[in-house]
């Protein structure tokens, strides 16, 4: 689609308001605008008015009001609204995928894949709307019944990152909404247009269902409006996706007011390749894992830990694949890798390459800036690391692949677990013992552990998140919904007696 047609199809103007609580409820207070810039060309796509203190107050006020009504709606009826959101997103999957490619530079096929995650989570949430189950326990007291039930928690704040401008919103917002909460979304200031397009979709559906302010939008920088949201006592839960550095600040600020947070922070993901791995399969997974989304996924494969007997053959197989990467316009169907998001990211990548080279690292492929293609294009880089240097403990959000070798399997696991982050991990092997050891308690310490499947591309059905500095949060499928609700333990006495628990006798008689 032509860019102008695409934008108007998704309800985006040249200049937009960034604060909204429903159809025809976009608010302007003449605040400053931020620009959404196409990383492929450096050109401004459109501008968006940032949320001011005044518009913030209005959005939160509406979200609080709407919560009181929405929480009363039976969950299966809430599911019907979510089903309609999913259907409208599905109808727009292609333009939304294109918009993501345009605004943040991942290739269109991956953009569409990301929107598919939104559709998938909507479908999951519709089923979930009839399965927000609590347990029943046996009481120790006669004639008593005990059970637990789950209630909505309140308006929830969702802060998302540029690299996945749609899916993490959905993992959080859709689940939170089906749980009976209203949602206030602050997207990355770099990708406000995808957020506006999704807000337009939820506006349409909220209006069809005679609702508003279930899905709400605020826009601006993290240090400004993001921080206001994080510190707002009226928001019992903040879900934050972003760097470890910012996550630490967010989690401290939320904890200070005894709020709850769900954190999805950095990764530093490795694939262990054993001597009997299928190298064709392995190199396919490595390619998608390392250059998909231009190496800017939190699940990106950044480290390969290969057995010394196959490392050279593995490198050859990977190089064959890297030589065929087509770098260019992410909207072009044949492109496999688009631009990076910013000059700052490129600087960090180039700096990491320098540090690696200065520390006995050998660049075996790429790493050059490709200014002919545009300001933000780079070649992905493969670096053979001979020493375990501090650089390898950091997440550099770029298409950098470090390869290192191991001798025995325990060493491989210990290298895999040596980093402070704990998001995703994988092993490629046909050895059952190695696969099971990797999955055992002395194996991978990550939230995600895959066998003969790469580190990226998690399905929505599982709980998504990681341990250690990744923050411990879980989002998306499985029972991650519990993070968006408050648990209530209920005991009912249906007798005429009042026995106390633990057998305590509290009668007013003398006790020897």
Q: Which C-beta is closer to ligand UN1: that of 167 or that of 315? A: 167
Part of the chain binding ligand UN1 (CB under 6 A), chosen from 66-74, 212-220, 294-302, 497-505: 294-302
Angle between helices 279-291 and 311-322 (to 10 degrees): 50
Minimum separation from the CB atom of position 464 to ligand UN1 (A): 7
Nearest to 179 by CA among 158, 163, 194: 158
Which residue's C-beta sits nearest to ligand UN1? 458
Contact partners, residue 81, CB within 8 Å, separation at least 6: 177, 205, 206, 209, 211, 214
Nearest to 132 by CA among 151, 119, 111: 151
Q: Which of 33, 297, 302, 384 binds ligand UN1 (CB under 6 A)?
A: 297
Minimum separation from the CB atom of position 458 to ligand UN1 (A): 3
Inter-CA distances, 12 with 31, 77, 395, 417, 426, Å: 18, 30, 34, 45, 40
260-264 vs 136-137, strand pairing mode: unpaired
Q: Which C-beta is closer to ligand UN1: that of 154 or that of 267? A: 267
Inter-residue contact 156 to 237 (CB < 8 Å): yes
Nearest to 236 by CA among 258, 216, 252: 258
Site for ligand UN1 (CB under 6 A): how many residues? 10
Minimum separation from the CB atom of position 39 to ligand UN1 (A): 17
Q: How far apart are CA 204 and CA 188, in angstroms?
A: 23
Residue with tokens 């269902």: 209
Q: Left if phi > 0, otherwise alpha if psi is -120 to 50, otherwise beta: which for 478?
A: left
Q: Which of 298, 395, 469, 475 is catalytic?
A: 298
Q: Which C-beta is closer to ligand UN1: that of 59 or that of 265? A: 265
Q: Which of 457, 462, 472, 499 binds ligand UN1 (CB under 6 A)?
A: 457
Inter-residue contact 404 to 305 (CB < 8 Å): yes
Is residue 51 close enough to count as binding ligand UN1 by CB under 6 A? no
Inter-residue contact 383 to 361 (CB < 8 Å): yes
Minimum separation from the CB atom of position 387 to ligand UN1 (A): 28
Q: Which C-beta is closer to ligand UN1: that of 164 or that of 481? A: 164
Q: Which of 17, 164, 438, 484 binds ligand UN1 (CB under 6 A)?
A: 164
> Which residues within the stretch 216-255 sit at the binding site for ligand UN1 (CB under 6 A)?
241
Q: How far apart are CA 89 and CA 390, in angstroms?
A: 43
Strand boundaries in 180-268, DSSP class E:
183-186, 215-217, 237-241, 260-264
Q: Which of 92, 129, 163, 191 binds ligand UN1 (CB under 6 A)?
A: 163
Part of the chain binding ligand UN1 (CB under 6 A), chosen from 215-223, 399-407, 451-459, 490-498: 451-459
Question: Per-residue x/- mask for ligand UN1, residues 105 to 144, rule CB under 6 A?
Answer: ----------------------------------------
To the query of whether residue 298 is one of the catalytic residues in this protein, the response is yes
Q: Which of 114, 264, 469, 475 is catalytic?
A: 264
Minimum separation from the CB atom of position 457 to ligand UN1 (A): 5
Q: Which C-beta is closer to ligand UN1: that of 1 or that of 112? A: 112
Q: Which of 45, 175, 298, 376 binds ligand UN1 (CB under 6 A)?
A: 298
Per DSSP, 330 falls in state: T
Minimum separation from the CB atom of position 339 to ligand UN1 (A): 17
Q: Name the phi and psi angles at 53, rounded to 5.
A: -60, -40
Minimum separation from the CB atom of position 393 to ligand UN1 (A): 19
Is residue 462 close enough to count as binding ligand UN1 by CB under 6 A? no
Is residue 290 close enough to count as binding ligand UN1 by CB under 6 A? no
Is residue 456 close enough to count as binding ligand UN1 by CB under 6 A? yes
Inter-CA distances, 188 with 35, 36, 334, 457, Å: 12, 10, 28, 21
Q: Which C-beta is closer to ligand UN1: that of 145 or that of 248? A: 248
To the query of whether residue 264 is one of the catalytic residues in this protein, the response is yes
Collapsed DSSP state (helix, strand, coil) of residue 467: strand
Q: Which C-beta is closer to ligand UN1: that of 62 or that of 110? A: 110
Is residue 301 close enough to count as binding ligand UN1 by CB under 6 A? no
Angle between helices 108-128 and 93-104 (to 10 degrees): 130
Part of the chain binding ligand UN1 (CB under 6 A), chosen from 76-84, 163-171, 245-253, 484-492: 163-171
Q: Which of 458, 463, 480, 485 binds ligand UN1 (CB under 6 A)?
A: 458
Q: Which C-beta is closer to ligand UN1: that of 163 or that of 172? A: 163
Report the greatest alpha carbon distance in the chain. Answer: 93
Part of the chain binding ligand UN1 (CB under 6 A), chosen from 232-240, 268-276, 297-305, 429-437: 297-305
- Token digits of residue 255: 């904890």
Q: Which C-beta is closer to ligand UN1: that of 36 or that of 241? A: 241
The percent helix, strand, coil of the chain (3-state, each to 5) is 40, 20, 40
Element (H, E) at 230: helix 227-230
Contact partners, residue 214, CB within 8 Å, separation at least 6: 66, 70, 81, 177, 182, 183, 202, 206
Q: Please give the residue ranges that form the binding site for ligand UN1 (CB under 6 A).
A: 163-164, 168, 241, 297-299, 456-458
Q: Residues with catalytic annotation?
A: 264, 298
């Amino acid at each position: 689609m032509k860019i102008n047609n695409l934008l108007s199809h998704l309800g985006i103007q040249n200049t937009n308001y960034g604060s909204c609580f429903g159809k025809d409820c976009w608010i302007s207070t003449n605040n400053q605008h931020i620009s959404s810039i196409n990383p492929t060309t450096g050109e401004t796509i459109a501008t968006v008015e940032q949320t001011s203190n005044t518009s913030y107050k209005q959005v939160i006020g509406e979200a609080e009001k709407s919560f009181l009504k929405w929480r009363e709606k039976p969950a299966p009826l809430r599911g019907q609204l979510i089903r309609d959101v999913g259907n409208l997103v599905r109808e727009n999957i292609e333009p939304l995928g294109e918009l993501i490619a345009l605004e943040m530079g991942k290739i269109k096929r991956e953009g569409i894949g990301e929107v598919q995650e939104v559709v998938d989570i909507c479908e999951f949430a519709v089923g979930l709307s009839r399965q927000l189950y609590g347990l029943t326990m046996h009481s120790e007291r006669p004639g008593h019944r005990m059970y637990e039930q789950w209630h909505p928690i309140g308006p929830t704040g969702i802060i998302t990152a540029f690299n996945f401008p749609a899916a993490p919103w959905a993992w959080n917002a859709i689940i939170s909404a089906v749980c009976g909460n209203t949602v206030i979304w602050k997207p990355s200031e770099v990708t406000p247009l995808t957020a506006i397009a999704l807000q337009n979709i939820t506006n349409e559906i909220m209006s069809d269902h005679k609702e508003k302010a279930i899905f709400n939008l605020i826009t601006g920088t993290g240090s400004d409006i993001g921080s206001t949201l994080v510190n707002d006592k009226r928001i019992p839960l903040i879900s934050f996706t972003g760097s470890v550095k910012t996550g630490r600040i967010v989690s401290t600020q939320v904890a200070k007011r005894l709020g709850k947070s769900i954190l999805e922070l950095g990764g530093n993901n490795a694939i262990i390749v054993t001597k009997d791995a299928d190298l064709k399969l392995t190199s396919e997974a490595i390619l998608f894992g390392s250059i998909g989304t231009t190496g800017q996924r939190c699940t990106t494969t950044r480290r390969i830990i290969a057995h010394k007997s196959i490392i050279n053959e593995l490198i050859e197989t990977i190089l064959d694949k890297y030589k065929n990467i087509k770098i260019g316009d992410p909207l072009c169907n044949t492109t496999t890798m688009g631009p990076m998001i910013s000059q700052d990211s490129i600087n960090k990548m180039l700096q990491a390459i320098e540090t690696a080279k200065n520390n006995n690292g050998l660049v075996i492929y790429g790493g050059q800036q490709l200014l002919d293609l545009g300001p933000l294009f780079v070649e992905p880089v493969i670096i053979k690391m001979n020493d375990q240097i501090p650089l390898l403990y950091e997440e550099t959000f770029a298409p950098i692949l470090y390869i290192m070798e191991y001798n025995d399997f325990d060493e491989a696991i210990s290298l895999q677990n040596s980093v402070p982050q704990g998001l995703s991990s994988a092993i490629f092997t046909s050895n059952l013992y190695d696969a099971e050891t990797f999955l055992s308690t002395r194996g991978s310490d990550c939230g995600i552990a895959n066998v003969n499947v790469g580190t990226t591309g998690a399905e929505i059905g599982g709980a998504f998140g990681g341990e250690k500095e990744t923050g411990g949060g879980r989002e998306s499928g499985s029972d991650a919904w519990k993070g968006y609700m408050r648990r209530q333990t209920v005991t009912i006495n249906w007798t005429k007696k009042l026995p106390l628990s633990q057998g305590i006798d509290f009668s007013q008689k003398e006790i020897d």
